Structure 1
Amino acid sequence: MPDSQNKSPGGLRGGIFLRGVAMGAADIVPGVSGGTIAFITGIYDQLIDSLKACNLAALKLLFSNGPAAAWQYVNGGFLLSLLLGIGLSVLSLARGISWALHHHPLLMASFFFGLILASALLVYRQIPHARGAWLYLLAGVGFALLISVVRPGEMPVNALTVFGAGALAICAMILPGISGSFILLLLGMYEPVIQAIKSLDMGMIALFMLGCATGLMAFVRLLSYLMHQHRCPLLAVLTGVLLGSLSIIWPWKLTGSGQLLSDEHSLDWHNVLPGDYAVQADPQWLFCLGLMVVGFVLVLFIETVARRD
């Protein structure tokens, strides 16, 4: 049984629910990972072990010992609280966050830049001292930078592609530092999925969630193994990915032709300095800098509160 089951696996828990709300909000934003929120709020290992426990052994326990035993085995109270928070957040905040990204892209990106920078610091602090950790860190940075320059391909929207997009995106969402929303952008599936959520297209949402569940159950076992057996290299890589993903969330971007982005979800961009951005529009650099600091401090505050919980 996973260690997580020893942590009050009963009913709904408010603190876990609120962490789920934060994870759902993060997963909507390209460049920000819900896994990062889970990590900095101290529930990441518990989440991975609880998900890993959703296996054939749990199913056998359900039929042999009843629902209560199976519920306890998979840490059901924890998972239900977290999933309800994520679901409520995604359904209620998708429209608001899309509006904020469209109308205040610089300010939103700056806030999340601070969040990610502080998250990288917190993950780095948890890396055990080991020789060669910096090599894994550099590999993570390189991987994130490579992802940042990839441009999306054309993908038709049908049952198979929606299912596959969910399976791939959830693998990114569960990892600190890799944004599932950005993976959807690369696949050309971000807008269709967000529109389905906004319009409550339950058929498409169900297909996407089925893909998420399938990908998650397959990936979580590998992730659990790495967390327990190769923790230092994994955390070093994830720190590097967080640092490299700052390139994706950098606020000041122009198109390849040097114009302002007409679509906040476009991938035709390159990063520029605030002074270069000022040629086209107000860089709002004082407000942006302030929100970077707010995001950075907020993560440190959340981590401090989570350690006391």
Structure 2
Amino acid sequence: MLGIMLRGMAVEVTEAVPGISGSTVAMISGVYERFIYSLSMLTTRKRRKSLPFLLLFGTGMVIGFIIAIFLVGYLLKTFRAPTLLFFVGIIVGFSPYLWKDMLKISKKRLKMKHYVIIFLLIGIVVITQLLGHTSNMNLTNLSLADYFLLGMIGLAASTALLLPGISGALILTIFGVYEFAIESLIMRNLPVVFAIGTGVLIGVLFSSKFIRYLLLHYQLETYCAMIGLVSGSIFAILYNLDSYFNTQTMIISIISFLAGVISLVVLEKMQDQN
């Protein structure tokens, strides 16, 4: 029982960091397939069999989420640039492994449509950052349309929890609401938390079968889309960096970036050993 809760904590702590996929940690800890299967059973008559596992695993995820939110919130407020560069390092360190998986699936035979998917997703991320309405949101003055948009972003983020290689935090970063969501949770802004949380909950309940379908019938195209999102997210993070860097901040940020790359390489090696 404790082991399942600890695995849930580990998954959600990493899921709260852009670039580290909670599903990767779930694979390493040996619960990924059971987690996906249990989620897919929630909308069937076999839901009772999956509830004990999901309750334990979910409790661990909630605890891990709370720990991660306050830790990341503190780091972003106190060491913003180094923290964001750490996220970039994680993504840069992860990208070659995701590309290698894609080449393995395609048997090194990528077609033009696959490159189109990759660059299309990169373009969407860049345009979202340059023209996105979400970066201008004000916590104290949100419209009904803003809450609906946050719910849709939460829905998109939930699918990332089920995909091997992308974290929900990364999706929030791409849409420009990651720090906004962190601040809302710390300040206990319940309407915002409810909007995003509802989207996530709906997505977890109903998207698991869709994700399984995509990975079964369109695995290569799905990986191409993931590579596009991951690559574009580097721009999304750098776009939100402070424009001013002093020497000390620059040195710390470089070290932080390298730490991110190394941590991801170590994590991937652990996965290979399993």
- Asked if TM exceeds 0.5, the reply is yes
Max radius of gyration: which structure? 1
Which amino acid in the other structure matches residue 128 of structure 1?
Answer: I
**1:101 equivalent in structure 2:** 76
- Residues of 1 paired with 2:233 and 2:124: CA distance? 10
**Mapping 1:47-196, distance limit 5 Å:** 47-58=35-46, 70-71=48-49, 74=50, 76-126=51-101, 127-130=104-107, 131-132=109-110, 135-136=113-114, 139-151=117-129, 152-153=132-133, 156=142, 160=148, 163-181=151-169, 183-184=171-172, 190=178, 193-196=181-184
Q: Give the 5 Å matches for 1:263-282.
A: 282=250
What residue in structure 2 maps to residue 299 of structure 1? 267
AA aligned to 2:255 is F
**Distance (Å, rounded) in 2 between the aligned partners of 1:134 and 1:241:** 18
- Rounded to whole Å, the distance in 1 between the matches of 2:159 and 2:72 is 22
Query: 1-side partners of 2:27 and 2:122: how far apart?
Result: 18
In the TM superposition, what whole-angstrom CA distance separates every residue of 1:53-106 from its partner, at most 9, and x where no partner exists?
2113325xxxxxxxxxx32xx3x4543343222211111221211111222234
C-alpha contact 1:169 1:181 (8 A) present in aligned 2: yes
Give yes or no for contact 2:9–2:60 (8 Å, CA) kept in 1: yes
What is the TM-score with the length of structure 2 in the denominator? 0.72
The answer to whether the Cα contact below 8 Å between 2:121 and 2:225 also exists between their aligned partners in 1 is no
Quick one: distance in 2 between partners of 1:45 and 1:140? Answer: 27
Q: Is the 8 A contact 2:89 2:258 kept in 1?
A: no
Q: What is the CA–CA distance in structure 1 between the aligned matches of 2:88 and 2:178, rounded to whole Å?
A: 20
Change (3 A) 1:96 1:239: same
Q: C-alpha deviations, 1:261-288, integer Å up to 9, x for none? A: xxxxxxxxxxxxxxxx568963446523
Amino acid at match of 2:70: R
CA separation of 1:303 and 1:106: change in aligned 2, threshold 3 A: farther
CA deviations over 1:219-252 (Å, ceiling 9, x no partner): 22211111222323323432443344333345x9
**CA distance in structure 1 between the partners assigned to 2:269 and 2:54 by the alignment:** 24
- Give the TM-score normalised by structure 1: 0.65
Task: Indicate conservation of the 8 Å contact 1:19/1:82, yes or no.
Answer: yes
Question: Per-residue deviation at 1:180?
Answer: 3.3
**2:19/2:94 contact within 8 Å kept:** no
Identity level (%): 22
C-alpha separation in 2, matches of 1:148 and 1:173: 22
Corresponding position of 2:255: 287
Name whichever structure is richer in helix by fraction: 2
**Counterparts of 1:210-225 in structure 2 under 5 Å?**
210-225=198-213
Q: 1:219 to 1:253 in 2, by over 3 A?
A: closer
Aligned equivalents of 2:226, 2:174: Cα separation in 1: 20
The verdict on how the C-alpha distance between 1:248 and 1:37 changes in structure 2, with shifts beyond 3 A counting, is farther
Give, in whole Å, the separation in 2 of the partners of 1:88 and 1:278: 36
| Paired AA for residue 144 in structure 1 | I
One-letter amino acid matched to 1:211: G
Ranges in structure 1 where 5+ consecutive residues have no aligned partner: 1-11, 60-69, 261-276
Specify the SS of the correspondent of 2:250: coil
Higher RCO, 1 vs 2 (CA within 8 Å, ≥6 residues apart): 2
Q: CA deviation at 1:213?
A: 1.8
**1:109-150 deviations in Å (ceiling 9; x for gaps):** 343334333433333444424432685266235413531441
Match of 1:241 among 205, 216, 229: 229
TM-fit CA distance, 1:20: 2.7
The answer on whether the counterparts of 1:178 and 1:245 sit within 8 Å (CA) in structure 2 is no
Taking the aligned partners of 1:294 and 1:169, their CA distance within structure 2 comes to 25
| Aligned ranges 1:6-17 → 2 under 5 Å | 12=1, 14=3, 16-17=4-5
* 2:84–2:241 CA contact under 8 A, matched in 1: no
* Residue aligned with 2:59, SS: helix
Which amino acid in 1 is paired with 2:121? F
Helix, strand or coil at the partner of 1:291: helix
- Amino acid paired to 1:82: F
Q: Which amino acid aligns with 2:117?
A: A
Aligned residue for 2:46, secondary structure, equals helix
* 1:137–1:240 CA contact under 8 A, matched in 2: no
- Where structure 2 has 5 or more consecutive residues not aligned to the other structure, the ranges are none
Secondary structure of the residue that 2:266 maps to in structure 1? helix
